[in-house]
Amino acid sequence: MSTKTNLTLDIVIFTALLAVANPSLTGNTVHEWLGIALAGAIVTHLLLHWDWIVSVGKAFFKKLFHQSRLNFVVNTLFFIAMTGSLFSGLLISKDVMSALGIQLNVGGGWESLHHLTSDASVILLGVHTALHWKWIVNSIGRYIVNPVSNLFRRPAPRVLAVQPVRIDEEK
């Protein structure tokens, strides 16, 4: 997978998670459907990084660079929190489940769990972003800032190449 594809998917996921974390911004219906779409984007992200997940998972208790181990733990907690948020969100859904013709009668504990796992997801997103900050800044600079700034640069003045003419004095 290219860095540009990874960056694009990460920006979409980051933006969607911030939007879905604020239901008053989107309204409940968009909040619920965006949550489901976000789950699909996260599954895509996991599949694109599957080789890393497997290799770090296998080497977790062996000699492993501490940054990779920390990333693995944070990412695992993030996945658990997001899964809990999605599952509990579906159980307390007012719009998505009724649109699918499903009526659930669940207790208020699921709503509390949804808020807890959603808040944990936002916090873990912040930690995940901080751990990858150098890559984020470098990638945004390379694929967004530089191309945009190149659009506004004046082209260098064209210099005509002139070949010196040798004048032979003997004729």
Distance CA 6, CA 154 (A): 31
Tokens (6 digits) for 91:
């159980």
Give pTM, 2 decimals.
0.75
pLDDT recorded at residue 159: 74
The length of the chain in residues reads: 171
pLDDT recorded at residue 171: 52
Exposure pattern of 73-85 as b/e (b: 16+ CB <10 Å)? ebbebbeebbebb
pLDDT recorded at residue 64: 62
pLDDT recorded at residue 58: 83
End-to-end CA distance of the chain: 68
Return averaged pLDDT per consecutive 10 residues of the chain, 171 residues in all.
Answer: 86 92 92 93 90 85 76 93 94 91 86 95 95 94 88 76 70 52
CA 131 to chain centre: 13
pLDDT recorded at residue 169: 63
| Residue 162 phi, psi (nearest 5) | -115, 130
Other C-beta atoms lying within 10 Å of the C-beta of residue 142: 13
